[in-house]
Structure formats: structure tokens, C-alpha cells
Amino acid sequence: MKKQEIKKLFEKVKEQNPLVHHITNNVTINDCANATLAIGGSPVMATSVEEVEDMVKLADALVINFGTIDDATYAAMVRAGQAANNKEIPVIFDPVGVGATPFRTDRARDFLERVNVSIVRGNASEVFALVGGEASTRGVDSGILSISEIDLAHKAATELQAITVISGERDTISNGNDLVQIDNGDIWLTKITGTGCMTASLIACFAGVTEDSFSAAIAGMSVMSLAGERAKKTLQNKEGIGTYRMRLMDEIFLMDEQLWAEGVRLS
């Protein structure tokens, strides 16, 4: 298990303050920026095709999120992704809603042909669509699949040649050979907007300080799952989803290697 290697990444993020360039969706852009700050990174959200290449030159990692994709945004994503490849910094791809419409799915597959992605993070339906599968997808929610998440993670990591992170009741991460599952989390993480998008930002912060993308993916995904679990435990009677959202950000901010090592459940 990689717990010792991952523990070291928390201090590295806080020391190096990695700059994470996001081209993300308009619904969750503020959440992604705040999650990046909370864990110790620095966010930038430049989306204009005229400046994304210059911004990538300053960055330590790039997040591409398909949540509110359109033609202009897509052109900027491709240009930024290719610039990140030239600089040899990690590209974290969040295929939000892929599989729901042909436009979104076609753009995602085209993006993967034109940009070398280090880490893919999505739900099972989104990842299944990336490797040519069809699932019952409703908006950004996962549907019913004909393949287990373990098999899907291995298949996607191999075919996409990228670390694959599948969020779910048990989060599953594969590099094509090794596989880790995370047993933390809470159902309330699915009741607020942006937890998946924020997870991509957290992964990018860790990826920006190490060449070990597998450890970075485990770290970012597990921080969100553990923070969600811890936030739920702090709630008092009659405190609801609004308070939970605030407490979730608190728990991300408070997370360090000790809290993580004591609370994370990896298998």
C-alpha cells in the first residue's frame, strides 16, 4: 500500500503551493477554486483561447472539466491540454456528463486523441462512455453498467493510458496493473453540487507536486471521501445540507497527513 508515500504529499502541497489551471464548468467554478485553496494549492480559472497557453506555462497542473462544454471552451481546452503536454505537467480530465449526449461524448473522445491525459476522474457511466460503452446516464448521474467498477477501472486505465478514478459507493482507482479502493465517504456527498469537480481539483494539487500520478489520484479522491465522512459526523440535530456543505470545506482545509492516515480506509 502507498500510504507512506501519500502522507508526504500533504506537506509538499502546502510547501510548494502548486498553481492549478482550471478550465472547468460554470456551475462549480467557485467551489473548485476554494477546494484548491483549502488543501494548499493556488487556483487560476483562465478560459480564453487567447491566453490559455501562456497560463499553462505558469501552472503545475491542468484540470479540464466538461461540465458546461461548448465549442469555444473546447477549443481552449485542446490548446491548453497540448500546451500542458509540451510543458510535461499533468492533465486531469473530468468527463462530466459524457455519455449523456453525442456532442459531449464525441468531444471527450476527440480530446483524448489530441491530448495526453495523466488522470481521468469520473463516475462509472462517464468512464464507461469513454471506452465505448453505453450506460443509462441521466444528466451527470451514473447509470446501470454491464461491467463491475473494478473491471472498468482496469479497462479504462489500460485503454486510455491514464490513471483512472471512478467515484462511487466505493471509490476505485487503477493504473492498469494496480488497483486501490477507498471505503470512506457519505451519501450526502451526492446531495450537493460540485463534489466531483472539487475532487479533480484536489487530485490536481497533489499531482502538481509529484510524478507519481497514482499516489496523487488516491490522495485527492480519498481526501474528498474522508472529508465528506468527517463533515457528516459534525452535524447536530436540525443541521442540514447547507451546513454540511460548509463543514465539508472546513474538513478539506483541516486535512493533514495525520488526520488522513488515521481516518482513511484503503483496500
Q: How confident is the model at residue 4 (pLDDT cuts 50, 70, 90)?
A: confident
What is the distance between the alpha carbons of residues 111 and 88, in angstroms, rounded to a whole number?
17
Query: What are the helix and strand counts (H, E) for the chain?
Result: 11, 8
> What is the largest distance, in Å, between two alpha-carbon atoms of the chain?
52
Identify the CA nearest to 164 among candidates 106, 203, 198, 108: 203
pLDDT of 176 over the 80 cut = yes
DSSP 22: E
Dihedral sign from CA coordinates of 74, 38, 232, 225: positive
φ and ψ at 151, to 5 degrees? -65, -40
Q: How confident is the model at residue 235 (pLDDT cuts 50, 70, 90)?
A: very high
Domains, in order of start, for the chain = 3-263 (3.40.1190.20)
pLDDT of 192 over the 90 cut = yes
What's the pLDDT score for residue 147? 84
What's the pLDDT score for residue 222? 97
What's the pLDDT score for residue 135? 59
Identify the CA nearest to 265 among candidates 10, 3, 12, 5: 3
Residues 122-158: tens digit of each pLDDT = 999 999 999 987 755 555 454 566 788 999 999 999 9
Residues 6 or more apart from 18 whose CB is under 8 A from it? 41, 42, 60, 61, 204, 205, 208, 209
pLDDT of 196 over the 90 cut = yes
Q: Whole-model pTM? A: 0.94
Q: Give the percent of the chain with pLDDT over 70.
A: 95
What's the pLDDT score for residue 1? 53
Residues 13-58: tens digit of each pLDDT = 999 999 999 999 999 999 999 999 999 999 999 999 999 999 999 9
Contact 33, 249 (CB under 8 A): no
Q: Give the percent of the chain with pLDDT over 90.
A: 91
Residue 108, C-alpha cell as written in the block: 471527450
Amino acid at 144: I
Mean pLDDT of the chain: 94
Burial per residue of 66-87, b for 16 or more beta-carbon CB atoms within 10 angstroms, e otherwise: bbebeeebbebbbbbbbbbbee
What is the distance between the alpha carbons of residues 190 and 188, in angstroms, rounded to a whole number?
5
